[in-house]
Amino acid sequence: MAVLTGKPAPHFKATAVINGVEIVENFSLDQFIGKKHVIFFFYPMDFTFVCPTELIAFQEKIEEFEKRNVAVVGCSTDSAYSHFAWLNTEKNKGGIKGVKYPIVADLSKTISRNFDVLAGEYEINDEDEYDFDGEPVAYRGLFLIDKQGIVRHQVVNDMPLGRSVDETLRMIDALQFFEENGEVCPADWHKGNEGIKANSEGIADYLSKH
């Protein structure tokens, strides 16, 4: 598994569904550079079990992301037409109707591979034919990307393990606190807590208080 933290997020242009109803071509995270932080997250498949709980949870707290000037973008290896159908299926029928943030279609699996969250890879067998070893879907990868397009935080869960939206917000708060104040964030830091000056005196002062 590649560590992308501290590196530029891989570039891509792909089809996406935005506002739950519009299919657009050439969607790219580049549009947010210099303007917004981005949460870019992968999930395995549309019309599954854990996935709708995550996508709906992000939508339910979308105002918290907007207050922090953060764009939320989802992605899976399904087609844009699958995304569109899922986005227009009622929740009581397994759909995610009401989700408005963009969902990228990675049907070619190249985005998942470039972010190194694809749960398998192509191999050539003894007959010189391509086989796929593993599952041709994405793990639950999540990437916090700053305004310069640099990955500042990443987490990758196995497929049965849903993520915490609150923890995602906490990491955004920590990054923005550091960017604004130049102080680093200790363990279990939450918005409103004090930071640490990044020197020996700063850590000594912090530890003496705790």
Q: Percentage of the chain with pLDDT > 70?
A: 98
pLDDT at 85: 98
Q: Which of 86, 2, 76 is nearest to 43 (CA)?
A: 76
| Residues 96-109: tens digit of each pLDDT | 999 999 999 999 99
**Secondary structure in 3-state letters for the chain:** CCCCCCCECCCCCEEEEECCCEEEEEECHHHHCCCCEEEEEECCCCCCCHHHHHHHHHHHCHHHHHHCCEEEEEEECCCHHHHHHHHCCCHHHCCCCCCCCCEEECCCCHHHHHCCCEEEEEEECCCCCEEEEEEEEECEEEEEECCCCEEEEEEEECCCCCCCHHHHHHHHHHHHHHHHHCCECCCCCCCCCCCECCCHHHHHHHHHHC
Tell me the average pLDDT across 40-66. Answer: 98
* pLDDT, the chain, mean: 94
Is 185 assigned a catalytic role?
Answer: no
| Residues 12-29: tens digit of each pLDDT | 999 999 999 999 999 999
pLDDT at 63: 98
- Which one is catalytic: 4, 9, 14, 51? 51
Tell me the average pLDDT across 50-68. Answer: 98
Q: How confident is the model at residue 200 (pLDDT cuts 50, 70, 90)?
A: low
- Residue 205, pLDDT > 80, answer no
Domains of the chain by range and CATH?
14-162 (3.40.30.10), 164-210 (no CATH)
Q: How much is the pTM?
A: 0.94
